[in-house]
């Protein structure tokens, strides 16, 4: 298991680096993908383990046809039982190309359809979500993907017409992080499809969940005055409709890495 996880980490870094300029490949620190496709699987109560087995078999099917794209699968360690699968894309056109490849490969299409039917026994819901990277409100977005073992994910649904207030809130948060210089990373993504309009995601990669204990002990890495805090609360009250948070662990058995 440790060797598989190590291989996952190293190969993931190489896969993401391949799409970056040469200067970005001089270290393990890599820019986030422009498009992040997320497959969000909600398990029926008590059925997460069964769903994990199906997704592990799906990874084996992809391996058998040497599928060209890495799928990074994580299962929840807090909150409702769920699996999130990340796939990196340079453009929405590449998402369509993957679907066309499946449709033009009958054996692969049939195998994936069989797994889709099998997972219904364990599945409460399934969503395919496409998101776009928001560089200006991300903090230290370049990081070494080989270090990622866990993810903290926060998704926020905004009130219609109040995007600017939320962007101001997140800009203040990024500036405060920069002042504190806490050693963590936050990628911001805006949902394009698959979730209600006005949904943003905060994604934090971590080596260990213990990072959050230390982060909270340092005021979330944000040195902030009382006036700034009041302003941030006001902006979120104006813009935010709901907020959810969950922690996920990378699962190498459900993750697929191309052999090349």
* Per-residue confidence in pLDDT tens, the chain, 260 aa: 444 444 444 444 433 333 333 333 334 677 899 999 999 999 999 999 999 999 999 999 999 999 988 888 999 999 899 999 999 899 999 999 999 999 999 999 999 999 999 999 999 999 999 999 999 999 999 887 667 899 999 999 999 999 999 999 999 999 999 998 998 999 999 999 999 889 999 999 999 999 999 988 888 888 888 999 999 999 999 999 999 999 999 999 998 877 76
Question: In angstroms, rounded to a whole number, what is the distance separating the alpha carbons of residues 163 and 159?
Answer: 8
Based on the structure, what is the number of domains in the chain? 2
Whether 143 and 116 share a structural domain = no
Range of the structural domain that residue 8 is part of: 2-131
How far from 71 is each of 8, 241, 257, CA to CA, in Å?
A: 10, 31, 7
Looking at the structure, do residues 227 and 153 belong to the same domain, yes or no?
yes
Specify whether the CB–CB gap between 83 and 73 falls below 8 A. yes
The residue from 116, 131, 146 where one domain ends is 131
CATH code (residue 175) = 3.30.70.100
Q: Is residue 156 part of a domain?
A: yes
Mark whether 115 and 159 lie in a shared domain. no
Q: Are 250 and 148 in contact (CB under 8 A)?
A: yes
46 and 139 together in one domain:
no
Outline where the chain has alpha helix (H).
2-17, 48-64, 92-103, 106-119, 163-180, 210-217, 226-239
Which whole-number Å values give the CA distances from 234 to 96, 174, 240, in the listed order? 40, 17, 10
Q: How much is the pTM? A: 0.83
Instruction: Give yes or no: residues 84 and 40 share one domain.
Output: yes
Same-domain pairing of 150 and 99: no
Tell me which of 81, 111, 131 is where a domain ends: 131
């Amino acid at each position: 298991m440790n060797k598989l996880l190590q291989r996952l980490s190293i190969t993931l870094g190489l896969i993401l680096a391949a799409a970056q300029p040469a200067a970005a490949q001089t270290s393990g620190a890599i820019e986030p993908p422009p498009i992040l496709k997320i497959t969000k699987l909600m398990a029926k109560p008590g059925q997460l383990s069964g769903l994990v087995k199906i997704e592990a078999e799906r990874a084996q099917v992809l391996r058998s046809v040497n599928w060209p794209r890495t799928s990074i699968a994580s299962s929840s360690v807090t909150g409702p039982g769920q699996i999130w699968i990340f796939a990196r894309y340079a453009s929405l056109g590449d998402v369509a190309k993957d679907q066309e490849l499946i449709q033009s490969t009958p054996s692969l299409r049939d195998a994936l359809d069989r797994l889709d039917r099998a997972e219904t026994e364990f599945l409460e819901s399934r969503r395919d979500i496409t998101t776009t990277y928001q560089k200006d409100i991300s903090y230290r977005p370049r990081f070494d993907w080989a270090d990622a073992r866990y993810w903290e994910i926060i998704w926020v649904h905004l009130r219609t017409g109040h995007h600017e207030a939320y962007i101001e809130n997140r800009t203040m948060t990024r500036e405060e992080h920069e002042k504190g210089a806490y050693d963590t990373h936050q990628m911001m993504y805006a949902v394009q499809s698959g979730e209600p309009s006005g949904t943003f995601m905060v994604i934090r990669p971590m080596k260990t969940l213990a990072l959050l204990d230390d982060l909270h002990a340092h005021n979330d890495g944000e040195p902030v005055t009382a006036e700034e805090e009041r302003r941030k609360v006001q902006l979120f009250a104006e813009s935010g409709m709901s907020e959810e948070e969950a922690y996920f662990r990378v699962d190498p058995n459900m993750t697929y890495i191309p052999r090349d």
